[in-house]
Amino acid sequence: MDRATVVSGIFYPKDQDELITQIKGYMSKPDGNVVSALGVILPHAGYLYSGRVAVETLQKVAGAKKIIILGPNHTGSGKPFAVWPNGLWHTPLGDAIVDTELVEKIVSKGELIEPDISAHLKEHSIEVQLPLLQYLYKDFKIAPIACGAQSFDLCLKAGRQIYEALKNEREKVLIVLSTDFTHYEPETSARKKDLELLERIVSLDERGLFDTFVRQNGSMCGIFAAIVFLHALKLLGARKASCVRYMTSGDVSGDFSSVVGYAGVVVH
């Protein structure tokens, strides 16, 4: 089954030329320092607010022919860990092909990540990454996985399911985590909370990340997807991570009374 766009014209332009112009406007001058990474963390707000963070992060990383995209399930619909099984995801820049072989391999390695389209039909967190990936990386296939609110232990098991699918994979696979950070707090408190969360992320400490989130009574929307992401990457051999850029919506709007935090992170 194919998936139509849900937030084109809202989170990003639906006109192809306008979309390309906007993406180009967020690109930094190439410095030649492009690395091979296991994973990246990207924000998923409207491009006006988070596009620069996402584009500058992707510019630091070499592309891959296979990309797993993990995102939160804001709608609450569908399976707890839902992977879109086949077909195409349409965007203004063309069609992203679902990697049916990779999806089937992930599903075969456990019971948590299951085929389900209903979790994705109105969800934006994965869709907004696709035009950016298409423009910067061109030719690839995707395995989109929406992660609902779950326990820490179940997230670890889902991360292991992805690892089991990839541990003998010969072709490079990039795992993308789509998440925003603290939501709708004053700039000072949001930034403080987010820097604490980022400290745990760059330390590849999924337990510490979750405990910090709970202690903060946090609002990082992709916290459960982040646990899956970090655990899978650590099992795959990740040893370090770095934050490329952090900013808040206030840096764009000028309104620092209630902001959302955005971070771009590369995991090696």
Q: For residue 60, what are the CA distances in angstroms to 31, 46, 84?
A: 9, 21, 28
Structure tokens at 251: 């840096």
Distance, CA of 11 to CA of 131 (rounded, Å): 11
pTM: 0.98
Which pLDDT band holds residue 196 (cuts at 50, 70, 90)?
very high
> What pLDDT does 31 receive?
75
Cα–Cα distance, 3 to 119 (Å, whole number): 12
Helix (H), strand (E), coil (C) string for the chain: CCECCCCECCCECCCHHHHHHHHHHHCCCCCCCCECCCEEEECCCCHHHHHHHHHHHHHCECCCCEEEEEEECCCCCCCCEEECCCCEEEECCEEEEECHHHHHHHHHCCCCEEECCCCCCCCCCCCCHHHHHHHHHCCCEEEEEEECCCCHHHHHHHHHHHHHHHCCCCCCEEEEEECCCCEEECHHHHHHHHHHHHHHHHCCCHHHHHHHHHHHCCCCCCHHHHHHHHHHHHHCCCCCEEEEEEEECHHHHCCCCCEEEEEEEEEC
229 neighbors 38 (Cβ within 8 angstroms): no
Query: Domains of the chain: which residue ranges?
Result: 16-267
Confidence of residue 217 (pLDDT cuts 50, 70, 90): very high
Homologous superfamily assigned to 16-267: LigB-like (3.40.830.10)
Tokens 């849900």 belong to residue: 6
- Distance of alpha carbon 146 from alpha carbon 113, whole angstroms: 9
Distance CA 75, CA 121 (A): 9
pLDDT band (50, 70, 90) for residue 30: confident
What percent of the chain is predicted at pLDDT more than 90? 97
Predicted pLDDT at 166:
98
Q: Distance between the two ends of the chain, CA-based, in angstroms?
A: 34
Distance (Å, whole) CA 206 – CA 79: 23
Q: What is the pLDDT of residue 32?
A: 72
- pLDDT of 39-78, one tens digit each? 999 999 999 999 999 999 999 999 999 999 999 999 999 9
Tokens matching residue 119: 């979790």
CA 93, CA 126: separation in Å to the nearest integer?
15
Closest CA to 91 of 12, 185, 186: 12
